Amino acid sequence: MSRSFQTPGRSAVYSTRAMIATSHPTASLVGLETLRRGGCSVDAALAAVAVLCVVEPAMTGIGGDCFAIVARPGAAPIAINGSGRSPAGADLQAAIDGGLRAIADNSPLAVTIPGAVAAWVRLHADYGRLPLSEVLEPAAAIAEAGYAIAPRVAWDWSHSVERLSRNPAAKARFLRDGAPWREGETHRQPELAATLRAIGRQGRAGFYEGAVAADMVRALRAEGGVHTLDDFAAQTADYVEPIGARFGGHDILEHPPNGQGATALLMLKAIEDWPAWRAADPAERAHLFIGLMRRAYRLRDSAITDPATMRVSLEDFLGEPAMDYVRAPGADAGVLPWETDTTCLSVVDADGMAVSFINSLFLPFGSTILAAECGVMFHCRGTSFSLDPLHPNALAPRKRPMHTIIPGMVMKAGRPVMPFGVMGGDYQSAGHAHLLTRLLREGLDLQGAIDAPRFFATASSVQVEEGFDPAVAAALVARGHILRPPPAPLGGAQAVWIDHDRGVLIGGSDPRKDGCALGY
Active site positions, annotated: 342
SS3 content of the chain, % helix, strand, coil (to 5): 40, 20, 40
Q: Is 6 strand, coil or helix?
A: coil
Q: Is 377 strand, coil or helix?
A: strand
Q: Where are the beta strands (DSSP E) in 83-131?
A: none
Buried b (16+ CB within 10 A) or exposed e, 366-402: bbbbbbbbbbbbbbbbbbbbbbeeeebbbbbebbbbb
Buried b (16+ CB within 10 A) or exposed e, 194-217: bbbbbbbebbbebbbeeebbebbb
Distance CA 296, CA 430 (A): 9
73 neighbors 415 (Cβ within 8 angstroms): yes
Provide the residue type at 498 as one letter. I
Q: How far is CA 507 from the centre of its chain?
A: 18
Residues 6+ apart with CB under 8 A from 409: 69, 71, 77, 242, 252, 253, 354, 356, 416, 418, 419, 420
Phi and psi torsions of 376, nearest 5°: -95, 120
Count of residues for the chain? 520
Q: Is 325 strand, coil or helix?
A: helix
What radius of gyration, in Å, describes the C-alpha atoms of the chain? 21
Distance CA 423, CA 404 (A): 9
53, 261, 263, 30: which is closest to 134 by C-alpha? Answer: 30
Provide the residue type at 395 as one letter. L
Phi-psi region of 445 (alpha: psi -120 to 50; beta: other; left: phi over 0): beta
3, 2, 32: which is closest to 18 by C-alpha? Answer: 32
Distance CA 59, CA 342 (A): 5
Q: Is 77 strand, coil or helix?
A: coil
Distance CA 483, CA 135 (A): 45
